[in-house]
Amino acid sequence: MFSSTQNTIIAVATPLGVGAIAMIRVSGKDAFSITQKIWKSKKNLLTQVPNTLLVGTIIDQENTPIDEVVLSIFHAPHSFTGDNTIEISCHASPYIVQKILTLLVENGAKLAQAGEFTRRAYLNGRVDLAQAEAIADVIASENENAHKIAFQQMRGGFSKQIKKMREDFIKLAGLLELELDFAEEDVEFANRGEIQKQVHQLSQNISDLANSYQLGKVLKNGFPVAIVGKPNAGKSTLLNALLAEDKAIVSPIAGTTRDSIEDETTIKGIKFRFVDTAGLRQTDDIVENIGIARTKEKMQASALILYLFDVSEFTPDVLLKNLLEIEQYNVPILLVANKIDIADKNAIHYFENFEEKYQKQIIFLSAHTQHNLENLQNKLADYVQMQPLHQNQTIITNTRHYACLQDTLKALEQVKKSLDQKFSTEMVATDMREVIYQLGTITGEITNNDLLEFIFTKFCIGK
């Protein structure tokens, strides 16, 4: 949990282990007095003019100098958080950074939780909630797709959709409330069949949205692609080619990759997470067998399998036979014929009519020379482009939203049940209120007034 806003919080603001200079941010009521305690310079921090830089030394309790640093001074409310803030720029040795953090904590500062600086800024009115969320999204989104989702949600596409569903459902629930509150009136009551139909439709819509969560997560964290094939098909070489670096150890010895290797790369603005897997073969090697078992897990967890084979080693029949094992995972498969640079022309020739015959496309390339690698990259990008995000559908990425949608679905199931079992109106109405409540928790509207509002505008009520 976040600490009280009375606390002074600290955090390293630069990535650890990167670059020559690290920056530690100290923010809060006591930022100046705490830093002053580990500060040695002719100039007193407490009397320093805002928005200036100071050079000096950080010292420990025994007056031992730790590092020469530069301080940037910001006075409340003119800082990012709105509180007094000092930024300590020190040398980026892990020891120095750790030591300074420890000294600050010993003098009363608290280590900040993730997002706590943004939260302070929000609480101090420096940014509003939407901005705070946007900041979080900007920090989180590392690729074009994540940006696209974040942007869509910022524009309110998602909450608009939920609001619309909630409004539609309020109308439906309003019909039942009408029966309960205005039994004496001359109004026609809702057809139960019609209500059932609409409840069903809403369930379908909500469930579509909830299902998009998996995809949303995938797009945010990288589209997982498993590179699968026989040992020595060139999987690690392909991975290195896709990543444009030597991540996997490559050797002519089959079975070099004993475990899965993962890394991310961005192709045409889409983040991919490639998993190089241990080659699939029958073996008695225990370690390799563990690797193969893990390969199977990775295949299941991926959104796409690249099935790689050495074009010289396979005939179409062998390929189809090998695919049988892969197809059981129910993950879409993209076929990649490798090593065309050293293959006999005839070997490639075998596969000429393969696509028409079996409705399976093959990409021919050489991972080693990177010949036709671009074809594969294009194909991968196209594949993701075909996903619902690019058909302007709403994608859920927020875990809380996902949980709320799941709760909504649960509530809808209960409504269906009570309608099916012909429970009396007030029970169905109670179940419908739960749906409205759950939808409301997503957009932040929780009140029964909406029900009455609907009734009054729609029906002629009153004696």
Partner 1 sequence: MFPEYDVIVVGAGHAGCEASYASATMGSKTLLITLDMTKIAQMSCNPAMGGVAKGQIIREIDALGGMSGIISDKTMIQFRMLNRSKGSAMWSPRCQSDRAKFTEAWRLALENVPNLDFWQDMVAELIVKDNRVCGVITGMGLEIKAKSVILTSGTFMNGLIHIGEKRIGGGRMGEKASTGITEQLVELGMEAGRMKTGTPPRIDGRTLNYEVMEEQKGDENPSKFSFSDETQSLTTQRSCFITYTNTEVHEILQTGFEQSPMFTGRIKGLGPRYCPSIEDKINRFADKDRHQIFVEPEGWDTVEIYVNGFSTSLPQDVQYKAIKKIPGFENCKMFRPGYAIEYDYFPPTQLKPTLETHLIENLYFAGQINGTTGYEEAACQGLMAGMNAHQKVHEKPNIILSRADAYIGVLIDDLVYKGTDEPYRMFTSRAEYRISLRQDNADIRLTEKGYNLGLASQKRYDDLQAKKQKIADLQHILKDLKASPEEINPTLEILETSPIREKVIIGNLLKRPEITIENLAKNYIPFANVLAEFPIQVSEQVEIHYKYDDYLQKERNMAMRFQELEDLMIPDSFDYSKVQALSAESRQKLPKMRPKTLGEASRISGISPSDISILMVFVGR
Ranges within 60-89 binding partner 1 (CB under 8 A): 82
Q: Yes or no: say if 108 and 10 are a contact pair by the CB < 8 Å rule.
A: no
Least distance CB 118 / partner 1 (angstroms): 12
Report if residue 227 touches partner 1, rule: CB under 8 A.
Answer: no
Task: Please state, in angstroms and rounded to a whole number, the distance separating the CA atoms of residues 352 and 344.
Answer: 14
Ranges within 397-436 binding partner 1 (CB under 8 A): 421-427, 429-430, 433-434
Report if residue 95 touches partner 1, rule: CB under 8 A.
Answer: no
When the beta carbons of 68 and 426 are compared against partner 1, the nearer one is: 426
Task: Please state, in angstroms and rounded to a whole number, the distance separating the CA atoms of residues 423 and 381.
Answer: 51
Report if residue 6 touches partner 1, rule: CB under 8 A.
Answer: no
Contact letters for partner 1, residues 30-59 (x by CB under 8 A): ------------------------------
Out of 55, 287, 301, 446, the only residue in the binding site for partner 1 (CB under 8 A) is 446
Out of 129, 253, 324, 386, the only residue in the binding site for partner 1 (CB under 8 A) is 129
Sheet containing strand 39-40, strands side by side? 39-40, 53-59, 65-74, 85-91, 21-27, 9-12, 110-111
Closest CA to 208 of 163, 162, 169: 162
Span interacting with partner 1, options 142-150, 220-228, 278-286, 446-454, rule CB under 8 A: 446-454
Q: Quote the DSSP letter at residue 233.
A: S
- The pairing of strands 362-364 and 333-338 is parallel
- Residues of the chain by 3-state class (helix, strand, coil), percent to 5: 50, 15, 35
Ranges within 105-124 binding partner 1 (CB under 8 A): 119, 122-124
Task: Please state, in angstroms and rounded to a whole number, the distance separating the CA atoms of residues 247 and 245.
Answer: 6
DSSP-assigned beta bridge partners for residue 65: 59
Report if residue 297 touches partner 1, rule: CB under 8 A.
Answer: no
Report if residue 180 touches partner 1, rule: CB under 8 A.
Answer: yes
Least distance CB 225 / partner 1 (angstroms): 39
Closest CA to 432 of 160, 171, 163, 182: 171
Residue given tokens 């390799």 in the structure block:
288
Span interacting with partner 1, options 96-104, 172-180, 223-231, 351-359, rule CB under 8 A: 172-180
Out of 62, 186, 284, 356, the only residue in the binding site for partner 1 (CB under 8 A) is 186
Give strand ranges (E) for 28-117: 39-40, 53-59, 65-74, 85-91, 110-111
Report if residue 461 touches partner 1, rule: CB under 8 A.
Answer: yes
What does the binding site for partner 1 look like in residue numbers (CB under 8 A)?
Answer: 1-2, 4-5, 82, 119, 122-125, 128-129, 177, 179-186, 421-427, 429-430, 433-434, 437, 444-446, 448-449, 451-452, 455-456, 460-463
